Structure 1
């Protein structure tokens, strides 16, 4: 690695490393509460980067290309994610209302729910109190917690978008500075960070975006099928089923099919108990999802989006263990940690195990 020294002495270099470590500790401690938004910003960066590069290759300046990408792609994408989350939690509360608050507190450990009615009973009590005491003071007291929380999270999202903007716009400048100042293309440090970049692109732009696309498409299909469903034969909780379909995509071979099977089995049981003629609907659902939808996923969505850089088993554990361990941002931080560790084992660890190898002598 290439680091400039003042006088070439080892004591000076050691002093600068101590100072750098102290700066890192201060930075990590100060920004700890923003870790979730940081990894979410990294995810948005890897979603926006290929689109911005595509625009720049066609002559659009980097700043304008970044603004267009954020305005036309990233902001609608965030709004779609928020809508999916709200609808999914709403449908979940209809199934297991008592568990919704516990689940939300697990995924959002720092979120203030004290003044927000998260159950029908608390919502009824809040509305009743406002009706019996319809004063401005009572109304402001009720909404101040929600407004404060909403404003804080909106500010965090605004910071995240600014972070993504500068990452996408100035990526070439930052890469050039890194090559000139820290490590050039011949060093193992550069190769490792390049491998991490490729891995994050494979996971974030590949697997994660594939999951979200499948969630959206399957939700549209389920709701369209419900429009032609016989009475009492609608697909229940379509958004929850769509989320399960998307998450099951990371399980190889049989992931989505398990979701289809349970929905079809449920509808078939309802048809047998009411009118066997209605079996046409679960059969239609099975044909559309197993033949048409799955072929679209395998032929178009996966080849275009999904990366094949890591073993599927690692991807499965990264996505499934991330949210329970870290909260809502674990779906991004879990894969991030997996990429950093695996690429270290693949790129750097062999050079440490065999110091005499050519790769271990290039810095």
Structure 2
């Protein structure tokens, strides 16, 4: 509390102006960096991905700078490349889906639909293409390509700056943590505990769940390819890579995420077997037993607890990832989980302390 009387003026002269300057400086920084918020959040995500590996290397004798460099070059950069490749492959797989593929699916699930009415031949698609070719808006395609190149160069530069930001966070994390504990937090054990829990939660979300999704994509792809190797004629699983990616990302949905994918595949295979060769019904049954029972059991019992832990309810994580991009933009996929972790830890740890502060301090006189 600020003292009264002459001490008020003395306090304002000694600290008040500095607090005013601090708020003004914060406003300037927020205004200057607001356009780069997404890249800052992405840098924090890369930091949490790189930190466990960098710490392990540091414990084995490497300096903080060397361990950070090795981690970013040999782990984080390939990791980001894998994420980019997975996303690109998913887009390519969707783009390469032919109309005949949709015809086959419609014939399996909706046999009454007349797929002959769909434009599948060159003669049927030619009028559509001709209309597009004569569209005057295509005259601006050169400008569009020029803008695309400019955006690509800008994004490349910002990605480079983001990697530098993550590098310095990884390299100087001990120095920053020590400065935060001694100069900012001080003797406040509640604040220290809160920050540690937030840090542990972000580590679990960013490092653990990302690895979990990638592991499920890889394992599902291997299993789907193995099933196709033994599949009866005409019962192969379509678009194995795309379905493996969908299986991994569906794991974010609690309880039913992967089961929806399995059920869709089983339904497709079962209808195909019934219409072609009913003796092949053993294949979708075997697929469901392996994926719905064995595979899911391994994921729930070993993969997910080992990689991501159980710090937060899966439903909260789902909403953080789903609502983040619509609310914040593309970087909401990273900022949404951060907001979720900070909020949940506060509600779990600090809110009960605030609500019951009088009861806790009335008898002891201890400061919260």
In our comparison, the structure showing a higher alpha carbon Rg is 2
Q: 1:26 aligns with which of 7, 17, 28?
A: 28
1:310 and 2:293 aligned: no
Cα contact 1:70–1:165 (8 A) shared by 2: yes
Give the one of 302, 324, 327 matched to 1:325: 327
Decide whether the 8 Å contact of 1:185 with 1:191 is kept in 2: no
Distance in 2 (CA, whole Å) between partners of 1:28 and 1:96 is 47
- Please, which runs of 5 or more residues in structure 2 have no aligned partner? 1-8, 100-127, 134-139
Residue 293 of structure 1 and its aligned partner are, at CA, apart by: 2.4
Helix, strand or coil at the partner of 1:9: helix
CA shift at 1:209, angstroms?
A: 2.8
Residue of structure 1 in register with 2:77 after alignment: 75
CA positional deviation for 1:62 = 1.3
Cα shift at 1:229: 4.0
1:323 touches 1:329 (CA, 8 Å); kept in 2?
yes
**Deviation of residue 236 (structure 1)?**
3.0
CA–CA separation in structure 2 for the residues paired with 1:168 and 1:10 = 38
- Report the equivalent of 1:183: 185
Separation in structure 2 between the aligned mates of residue 25 and residue 227 of structure 1, nearest angstrom: 61
Determine which of 62, 65, 72 is the counterpart of 2:64. 62
After superposition, the Cα gap between the structure-2 partners of 1:34 and 1:217, relative to the gap in structure 1 and judged at 3 Å, is farther
- Give 2:155's aligned residue: 153
Report the equivalent of 2:105.
none
Q: Structure 1 276/326 Cα, relative in aligned 2: closer, same or farther at 3 Å?
A: farther
Which of the numbers 295, 298, 302 marks the counterpart of 1:296? 298
Q: Distance in 2 between matches of 1:188 and 1:75?
A: 36
The alignment's TM-score, normalised by the length of structure 1, stands at 0.78
Rate the CA distance shift 1:8–1:250 in 2: closer, same or farther, 3 A: farther
- Structure 2: distance between partners of 1:184 and 1:142: 54
- The CA deviation at 1:172 is 0.3
Q: Secondary structure at the match of 1:19?
A: helix
Matched, 1:287 2:289: yes
Deviates most, 151-160 or 242-251: 242-251
Residue 108 of structure 1 is matched in structure 2 by: none
Contact 1:230 1:278 in 2 (8 A): yes
1:192-341 alignment runs, 5 A limit: 192-341=194-343
Shift of 1:240: 3.7
1:173 aligns with 2:175: yes
Structure 1 residue runs without a partner (length 5+): 1-6, 98-119, 126-137
TM normalised by structure 2 equals 0.77
Where 2:309 maps in the other structure, the secondary structure is coil
Residue of structure 2 aligned with 1:53, choices 55, 74, 91? 55
Please state how far the C-alpha of 1:21 moved relative to its aligned partner: 2.1
Residue 139 of structure 1 and its aligned partner are, at CA, apart by: 11
Cα distance, 1:21–1:349 mapped onto 2, change above 3 Å: farther
Aligned length: 324
Give the Å deviation of 1:162. Answer: 0.8
Alpha-carbon distance between aligned partners in 1 of 2:153 and 2:129, rounded to the nearest angstrom: 26
How much has 1:319 moved relative to structure 2? 1.9
Distance 2:32 2:365 in 1: 35
Give a deviation string over 1:206-238, Cα, whole Å, max 9, x none. 223312322233234334544554454332333
Deviations 1:291-312 (A, max 9, x none): 4422331333112111212223
Q: Secondary structure at the match of 2:185?
A: coil
What do you get for the CA RMSD once the two structures are aligned? 3.2
Q: Is the 8 A contact 1:271 1:279 kept in 2?
A: yes
